[in-house]
Structures are given as C-alpha cells and as structure tokens.
Amino acid sequence: MRTIRHDIRRRGTVLLEFVMVIPLLAGIIALTYFFGWSMKNQQRVRASNRYAVWRWVHGKHDVNDMNLNLNFFDAKAGDVSIHGWGGGPTQTRDDLQREVGVQSVPAGDLAREELSGASPWPYGCSGAIGASFPTDVTLWQWLTQDGGIRWHHVREGVEWRRHQARCENALTDQFYAGLDDALGSVPSPGDSLGEAARRLYLGGW
C-alpha cells in the first residue's frame, strides 16, 4: 500500500513539473522564432545595402527604395530609405600616388593630377539603407522604436580596365611642354618635321 501511494505521488509530481515547464518551453520556442525572423530581416538589409553600393560603384545609379523593397524584402517592408551616399575609401589611389612620388617629383605630380578630382579611375562609394518591418509583436516594436534596421556599407572600386583612363593629355602638358615650344620655333624648312613630331605625340597612341 505504501509503495502504491509513493508511485502515485511521483506521477503527480512529474505531471506538475511538466505542466509548469510548458510556459517556459513555449517562451523559448517563441523567442527562437522571433530572433530568427529578426536576423532574417537584418541579413536582408545588409544584402540590399551591399547590392546598392556595388551598383553605385559600377556607375549604375538606378537603385531606389521601391525595387529594393520588391527584390529583397518581398514588398513586405513598411519603409525603405536610402541615405548617406558619399565617397568611399581612397587608400588604393593614395598609395599609388605616394609610391610614384617617391620615384621622382614629375612622376608624383603626374600621379596627383591623374588620380585626383573627377578622374575616370576606379573610386569608392559608401551608403546606408534603413528598413522597418511592421508587426504587432510588442518586443519588436520596442527594439526598433528608433526607426527599424539600418546598415552602412563602404566599397572601393577595384576594376581597372584597359584604356579606362588615358593619360596622354597630362603627359603632353607636363613632359612635352618644352619639346613642344622648341619644335614650334623651328624655322623652315625644318618646321614640317617638327609638325610631324608634334602630331605624333599629340595624337592617340
């Protein structure tokens, strides 16, 4: 009789513990689903940001909030904003200018002239994208009360194509100025030879 009562008591204790742990298990499952959903949204924002900056670096300025929302968020994002566009890193160009300048002063001047300003050499870009995801989950509303998910990405252009930037004009202005003056003052009949030489280095190489 004592053994039977002991077994019944143990069964009741196990059942009570199981009932008490159900809310804990439900909470863990809900949190797992919630954080998985939030991480998915965060990764989509990151991917869209990298894509937008990549397009901008390659000269494709056709990225807007509508196509990002459609292609990356399945048109489920409440608000997608693109902001913070700016220049990217210039480490590659700065290093090249510095290394060339060590070789000689004229070469350094040429590098600075060619690799600065609106030159057609590869350049960098930076941009930020923000997106909000409407939901009735109170925890998510509290975590994103400052405006949703935002991400900032910087990319440096690395594609150097043949004939992408031609430097004949800078070379002519810097290295051939003295030669050009000398050839221009050659008297006849040597002026025809001087003109042929000028056409040679002023024309396309």
Which SS3 state, helix, strand or coil, does residue 109 take?
Answer: helix
Q: What is the H or E stretch that residue 1 is in?
A: none
Measured CA to CA, the distance from residue 164 to residue 160 in angstroms comes to 7
pLDDT tens for 169-180 read 666 666 677 777
Report the mean per-residue pLDDT for the chain.
76
Cα angle: 73, vertex 77, 80; to 5 degrees? 95
Q: What was the pLDDT predicted at 30?
A: 82
Q: Is the pTM of this model over 0.75?
A: no
DSSP string, 118-134: S-SS--EEEEEEEEE--
Describe the chain by its helix, strand, coil percentages, rounded to 5. 60, 15, 30
pLDDT tens for 32-80 read 888 888 888 889 899 988 888 888 877 777 788 888 888 888 888 878 8
